[in-house]
Chain A
């Protein structure tokens, strides 16, 4: 980011390609609406680009990026009430290589169960879980981003993981 601030566009491209997919998935899971996630995603990077002159490396760039992303998401919710109304993420829309049909079906069911469980999580727990999984942030960083204590973040993450684990342990017949 410092190199980009000095005019090195290649440095920004490296940074962007490193973080774009996890950030997009994070926003996709938060917004639960692809178009909204794309809007927020674009807004986040726009703010990152604009703030390059004032950027100070006081924290990891990942922390800074997800902090901006979370604020943009909150602003997006405030701007329109579309959040939670529709959910157009299709977990099975991606092809899965050359797996056999049984494996594909099993994976598809597991994905569907996990996706359902993830959507049913409380927003704070889902946020902490996504920050942990997608951004790979530590509890301290998650606590900073979500503006809560470390123990609170840890508790939320534990609950989220427990619920997802329970959802995965369910048999396909019950799911």
Chain B
């Protein structure tokens, strides 16, 4: 009885297993292998590859943002003071200098691209200052009565002479209105002066005319 029970509990029959093994010899179709393995390879690509899907547009946005920031920065550059110049309080300037600043405001508001030559280096600014000083000295020699007095519509250098202004104000007074390229040739320089006069910037025109006289003595003038 126990043997019979044991046999009935037997769940493994080698003969049945062997017969089944002989029967079941089907193989997976090759096209299924190909499809499934390809799917597995495609799914197993590293996660950073999938992350590229959103990283790429993010990188584009970041690049465009940086480019815009650079363009805006470049556009704002001319509004900054040149090296060595600090903003001067309006009450620290003489009244005529203030007036000159007011008259020069429309031109100062022009974009930097319109006046690229005005970005002068410190050395050139000093050179221009020396020229202005020489012109000032010659004016003083021509008109000794004006020494020590303030002429309201005289050149900026004379105004600076009468009232010692801070260095920044003096540098501001020697600011040029004609481009460096225009001052190379007396004809273009004179055209620039005439243009200044036409615009009503008489002080600036007078300053440029003095400098023109110094740089090109009368025989060279047209």
A140 to chain B, nearest CB (A): 13
Interface flags for B6-42 (1: CB within 8 Å of A; 0: not) read 0011111101110111111111110011011101110
Are B41's CB and A21's CB within 8 A? Answer: no
- Please name all residues of chain B whose beta carbon is closer than 8 Å to the beta carbon of A25 when the two chains form the complex: 24, 26
Number of A-B contacts (CB under 8 A): 97
Interface status of A123 (Cβ within 8 A of chain B): no
* Contact-residue size bin, chain A (C-beta under 8 Å from the other chain): 35 or more
Main secondary structure of the interface of B (DSSP, over half): helix
Contacts of A77 in B (CB 8 A): none
Expressed in whole angstroms, the minimum distance between the Cβ of B175 and any Cβ of chain A is 67
Find the A residue at minimum CB distance from B42: A49
In the complex, the answer to whether A20 meets B17 with C-beta atoms within 8 Å is: no
Main secondary structure of the interface of A (DSSP, over half): helix
Instruction: Judge whether B11 and A164 touch: CB under 8 Å.
Output: no
Residues of chain B lying within 8 A (CB to CB) of residue A134: 24
CA distance A38 to B13 in the complex (A): 29
CB distance from A108 to the nearest CB of B (A): 10
Which residues of A lie under 8 Å from residue B24 when comparing CB positions?
Answer: 25, 29, 133-134
A41-B28, A168-B16 known; A9+B40 contact, CB < 8 A:
yes
Q: Roughly how many angstroms separate A21 CA and B27 CA in the complex, as a whole number?
A: 5
Max chain B C-beta neighbours (<10 A), residue from A94, A154, A161: A161
For the complex formed, measure the closest distance between the CB of A165 and the CB atoms of chain B, giving whole angstroms.
Answer: 5
Which of chain B's residues has its CB closest to A25's CB? B24
Using Cβ atoms and an 8 Å threshold, which residues of chain B touch A7? 44-46
Contact indicator B40/A154 (Cβ below 8 Å): no
- Known A7-B44, A42-B32, A134-B24; contact A161-B16, beta-carbon cutoff 8 A: yes
Q: Say yes or no: is B51 at the interface (Cβ < 8 Å to chain A).
A: no
A56 CB–B CB distance under 8 Å: no
Q: Is B113 an interface residue (CB 8 A)?
A: no
B43 interface contact, C-beta 8 A: yes
Q: Produce 1/0 per residue, B116-148, CB < 8 A to A.
A: 000000000000000000000000000000000
Instruction: Give chain A nearest CB distance to B41 CB in angstroms.
Output: 5
Q: Which residue of the partner chain B has the closest CB to A41?
A: B32
Contact of B8 among A4, A24, A49, A158 (CB under 8 A): A158
A114 with B23: CB separation less than 8 A: yes
Interface string of A107-131 (1 = CB under 8 A from B): 1001100110010000000000000
Min Cβ gap A117→B in Å is 10
Known: A24-B26, A168-B15. 15 other contacts (CB 8 A): A16-B40, A20-B33, A24-B27, A25-B26, A46-B36, A94-B26, A110-B22, A114-B20, A132-B11, A133-B21, A133-B24, A154-B9, A158-B9, A165-B15, A165-B16
- Give A contacts to B, CB under 8 Å: 4, 7-9, 12-13, 16, 20-21, 24-25, 28-29, 38, 41-42, 45-46, 49-50, 52, 89, 91, 94, 107, 110-111, 114-115, 118, 132-134, 139, 154, 157-158, 161, 164-165, 168
A-B contact pairs, 26 of them (CB 8 A): A9-B40, A12-B44, A16-B33, A21-B26, A21-B27, A24-B27, A25-B24, A25-B26, A28-B26, A38-B29, A38-B32, A41-B28, A42-B36, A49-B40, A49-B43, A50-B43, A94-B25, A111-B23, A115-B23, A118-B20, A133-B20, A154-B11, A158-B10, A161-B11, A165-B15, A168-B16
